[in-house]
Every structure is written in C-alpha cells, then in structure tokens.
Chains A and B, each alone.
Chain A
Amino acid sequence: MTPALEVSGLRKSYGAVAALSGVSFRVGEGTIVGLLGPNGAGKTTTVSIICSLLPADGGEVLVDGAPLAGDTDRAKGRLGLVPQELALYDELTADDNLRFFGALQGLEGARLSSRIDDVLRLAGLADRRRDRVRTFSGGMKRRLNLAAGLLHDPKVLLLDEPTAGVDPQSRNAIFESLEALRAAGKAILYTTHYMEEAERLCDRVVIVDHGRVVANGTAEELGRLLPAASGPELDAEARAAVALLSARGIAVPGVDGGKPRLEEVFLHLTGHALRDDR
C-alpha cells in the first residue's frame, strides 16, 4: 500500500552548508512518525521541502504516491503544516485567525464555521474563540497554532516542534489531540528534539543528525541497536511501577520503564548528546 507520505533521498544545501544529505522515510495512515534530532539537524528544512516552501536540490516527496505539482496543486490541501514558529496574528481573535487560515485553504461559509468549531474543541479553546490571541498563554497559543494546521482536515500532518516552550499541561493536551488524530487515521510527522516525546508518542522514530538519517525504527527496534542492555534488569512488578510513574511524567533515573532509552541510542549512534543543555 502507498504510504500517505514518502520522502526519499532529500538533499538541500544553503550555500556551503549542507542541511540535508539524503533523507528518506515514510509515514503511513494512522501512525505518528517522530523526526528526532538536535537543533540544526535539518528537521525544519525537511518539513519545508515536503510542503514545497523550499525547493530541494535532489530527492523526491510523494503524497499519496504522487509528487506535488506547483503552488496551486490541490493536493497541497492533503498536507497540514504546523510551523515551528507561532504563526498567528496576536491582534486578532482566535476565530479571526482561523477564518483567515481556513480561507487560504479554500474553506468558506458553513463548512468553515463548523471546521473552526471542530478544531477549537480539539485544541480545548472553544471558550476562548472570541478572545484576542494576545491574551493567550504560551500553551494556548501552541494549541491554536496546531488547530490552524488542521482546519482543512488534511490527511498528512507535519508538526514542527509543536510543543516548544509549553507547560506540561498543554503538552499533554496536545498529545491527546494527536492521539485522537492518529486514531482518526491521520499520517503524522512529528519533529522534536525531546526524546521523551518521541518515546511516548511515536510509533516509529527517525533519528536525524547533520542532515542524515542515522536510525529509523520503532522504539524497541532502536533499543536493540544498543550493544548491551543498559540499566538494571527489572522484574515485571518493578517495570509496572516505573511505567506508572513515567505515565505521570515522573522519570526514574537509571531506568526506562521497560522501553529502550533513545537518548542512549542517539549517543551511541552519533557520538554526541541529543541536546547541548544536558
């Protein structure tokens, strides 16, 4: 079966800087694929090329098996982009923002209104519809940013670090929305430099570094790339306890709740840590 999104051999240089040197992966319907890598790995560049914001130097992007043909290709409507930046008009209300972004996608009238209802409900912002975005918290803006990318009910979602700088509560809300969307059959590409997020949310993880894919698989598969099991062996009860804690957002140092630890996988594969601030 053709995947909803297929990226193969993407290359891109900004002058002398090689941002992507052959990036390939697929995202199928009803799955969340994590694109995990440190700052500067090429995540945003990849997403921009997929949406044809940027021309690639080489490689191919297929949406439902076909490349996008130009600015006005209707197939662009199958992609929903949630930019890394908060792409909202602070001076306008949530409703006005969504009206404009919906109109850009060709929505109008009753259909637009009902879609606005839907995405605001999904983002938990239905009661703030008439408020100016300026009055929103960082987490609320992030949720509205996400909602704006969903208006035209795209089949493929491209989320570029959608949780940057949000409080844990909003992050959980976003995760729940994404899980609902996955259940609804969306193909979701989720870029992040937080390995905990990739671990918790994604069905598969594509690890990128310096514009190259260094690993691609389920969390389990990636764990097997480690030379030997790290951390203490846990019995079933201990694993259940750790899993319970981790589900509440509490990490137990030295153990991983039964899952392989992507941080170590990353360190092992690239020789450096995922994030500088650790």
Chain B
Amino acid sequence: MKQALAIVRHELKLFLSDPRSVVVGIVTPILLATFFGFLFSGQGRHEAAKIPVLVADADGSAVSSAVVAGLAADPLLAVTQATEAAAREAVRKGKAVAAVVLPVGFGEGSVRAFFGASKAPEIVLLVDPSRATEAGLVRGLLSEKVFRESSREAFGGSSGTTVLQESLRNLEADPAPATPERETLEQLLRDVTRWKESTTGGQGGAATQTRGPGSAAPFTLKEEPVTARRGVTYNSYAHSFAGMGIQFLLFVALDFGIAFLLERQGGIWKRLRAAPLSRSSLLAGKATAGALVGLISVGATFAFGIVVLGVRIQGSIPGFLLILVSSALMASSFGLLLAALGKTPGATRGLSILAILLLVMLGGGWVPAFVFPEWLRTATLVLPTRWAIDGLDAVTWRGAGLVAGALPAAAVLFGYAALFLLVARLRFRWTDG
C-alpha cells in the first residue's frame, strides 16, 4: 500500500515536472472542442458563406426568369448563371455545391402541370455528393421558388388564363366518370377563372399561397450527383481516407523527427557529423527517407480503401501519386522542422501533436472544409494540409486531371517541403556549443 502510494506520488511528480506537456494536455482538448462547437453552433452557420449555386436557364420564359431571380434574391445562395455544360463542370470541380438546369418549355410546362394539364417538366439538380447537406437546402429553396413562381403565373399570368380554360375544357370533355376529386378541381378552375376576370391586374395575392386540391406538382426534380463521369457513384470513404491518410503521414513524420532528435543526442550523430557530409545532404537524406516511410503508410491506407471500401481514383492516377509523394515530402520535412525547433524529444512531442491535430482539422481532414465559415475556409488555404486533402479529393472522386487537379496542390506541397527544410537547416542545433 505504501509502495503504491509512493508510485502515485512519483508518477505525479514526473508528470508535473514537465509543465509544457501539462499545458498541452489541457490546451489541446480545449482548442479542439471549442473549434467543433463553433463549427456546429449557430455562430458558425450565421457567418457561413452563401452556398454557391449555378443556374442554367435554357427556357428564358417569364416563369424561369422569375425562378432564377427568386433564387438569386435568397440570402442563403450565391447564384451565377451558366450553361449546363459549364455548370456541370463547376460542380464536378467542387466550385459550386449545386446547379439547377431549367429545360426548354419549363415555364409553360410548369403552369400546365399545375392544373394537371400535362406531364410536369423535369428540372435537373446537379449536386456535389460530398456536400449533401447544402445540396438538400438548395433543393428545398428551389422547390419553394418554382412552386411560387409557377403558381403565380398560373393564377395571375396570361399563360395561366389560357391554360385554365384549356384545362377546364379538357376536364369537361373527359369521358371518365366524375370523382369527388375531379368535381372539386373543376369547381376550383371555374372559381379561379371567375376571380381572374373580376381582378384587373392579375397579381397573385392570396392565391399564391393556395395550392388547389388536386392540382399536380408543377415540376419534377431529378437530382443527379455529379462525379467524375456519369454512372460513377460518390464514395464518402475517398474523403475520409484523404484526411486520415494525411494525418498519419504527419504522425509518422513526427516519429521520424523525434527519432532524429534522439539520434542527435547519441554517438551516431558524431559519426554523421564527422563524415565529409554537408548539412543539406544530411537533411535531404533524412527528408527523403521520412517521405518514403510515410508513403508506405499512406499508400497502405489508400490500398485498403481501394480494395475493401471501393475508393476509386476517378481522375489522374499520376496526379494522385504526385499528390501522395508531395504530401509525404511535405510531412517528412515538417517532421524535421519539428526536430529543429524542439529541444528535447519529450518537449517536442506534446506541442507537435497539438500542431498536427490543428493542421489536419483546419485542413479539412476531419470535417470537410466547406462546412467552415467563409473567412476560415479562405484563411485555411495557407495550410499545406488543406491543399493535400483538397488535392486528393480532386483526383479521387471528383475525377480531376493531372494539370487542373493535381499540379497546383503538388506545387504548393513541394513549396512547403522546401520551406520547412530551409528553416530546419537554419534553426537546427548542429552543435552543442
């Protein structure tokens, strides 16, 4: 019992003897918890960026223009007009969350359909499958606008009158036996016609709020997830494997950096330094070795994702490999930077873990960066992890090519590797003196 108490006292003393690690142990969970709370709180939402949406209006009718205007006026959306092809490409690249394609004849068709006069026109909603929540919001807003505008036209617009009369004639001519529903609809059409005649302008007024019983939906919505190619399905593992792959690349690199610091304290270091070998060669050798070890780790991670979970590289395979290699080199250089800035292996570990968790979290490795408020989404572009994870997303399920998808990310990652190595070269304590 006494001995056990002695062990407790001893362990606590050891733990408290390194104030830095105590602080890190407290600060890390506070920072991470605060960040996630912030992201998912109203505060995060409130400041969230408008959702980028593209609209391809092939119809150009009064109704379709009004739908476009309604979407554009919505405070939650940032609407841009584009052709269908351009819109599809933008969604595929992740530049927009969704794209609305209004087909030719949409305006008239929707009014007709409103009164059950013809089959409802089909609106295609192209969505980024990795952003399902935002796409859902777009879908809701779109339905609201289309209902409002087509009903306004039906009850107030000139095409509404034509269609009303036509529908009424069709109903009356229909030889099918009368059902209560049909009678109600006929009654409604007559009432609306009479009401329209009694008003001058044809402003929808209260009628816009009304959805007549029996009236059909004015449109059908076909939602199409946009991936690399038609028929390719989105695999959410692709994103999670990118995030975790990069995170563990950094952890492997940290271990490598710590091993370097340990080596720094021993006799092997003397042999290294006594040999006719430049500091840069030494660091370059270390960085390359660390990158190869990291590549084995991240390569095995993705291999599992590919074989077991159906992750597919829909884009450029050389681009994918290039991003892995540049990420691995960035990570191993980061490990050497930690070794250069850290004093003892113990003190280095705690702070480095905090740094890595922040890098991965802010880089969009845990939750995708698009749920960040806009300022944060922009600010985190300075992080190499953000480029690595976005780059891997681009070449895996987004199907981006080598030049557009991989090269910018790889260039940034190689740049960071060079920067980290340079600082490590300058700041490393090469001698004890």
Contacts and interface: CB of A to CB of B under 8 A. Distances in A.
Interface of A: 12, 14, 48, 51-55, 71-74, 76-77, 79, 81, 83-89, 101, 104-106, 145, 148-149
B277 A72 contact: yes
Q: How large is the interface on B (under 10, 10 to 19, 20 to 34, 35 or more residues)?
A: 10 to 19
A83 B276 CA distance: 16
25 contacts: A12-B433, A14-B432, A51-B273, A51-B274, A52-B274, A53-B273, A53-B274, A54-B433, A55-B433, A71-B273, A71-B279, A72-B278, A76-B274, A76-B276, A79-B274, A81-B271, A83-B267, A83-B271, A87-B267, A87-B269, A87-B270, A87-B271, A104-B275, A105-B276, A106-B276
A148 B268 CA distance: 11
B32 interface: no
Nearest to B280: A71
Contact of A53 (B270, B277, B279): B270
**3 nearest A-B pairs in the assembled complex, by CB-CB distance:** A87-B267, A85-B267, A83-B267
Contacts of B279: 71
A242 B222 CA distance: 106
A81 B432 contact: no
A72 B280 CA distance: 11
B267 A54 contact: no
B276 A74 contact: yes
Contacts of B75: none
Contact of A104 (B266, B267, B277, B431): B277
A76 B277 CA distance: 9
A81 B270 contact: yes
Interface of B: 266-279, 431-433
Contacts of A72: 276-278
A88 B270 CA distance: 11
Contact of B272 (A14, A55, A104, A149): A104
A54 B431 contact: yes
Given A85-B266, A87-B267, A89-B268, A55 B274 contact: no
Given A12-B433, A14-B432, A14-B433, A51 B270 contact: yes
A71 B273 CA distance: 8
A76 B278 CA distance: 12
A79 B269 CA distance: 16
B268 A87 contact: yes
B433 A104 contact: no
B277 to A, nearest CB: 6
Nearest to A84: B267
B266 A87 contact: yes
A85 B270 CA distance: 10
Contacts of A84: 267
B327 to A, nearest CB: 28
Contacts of A105: 275-276
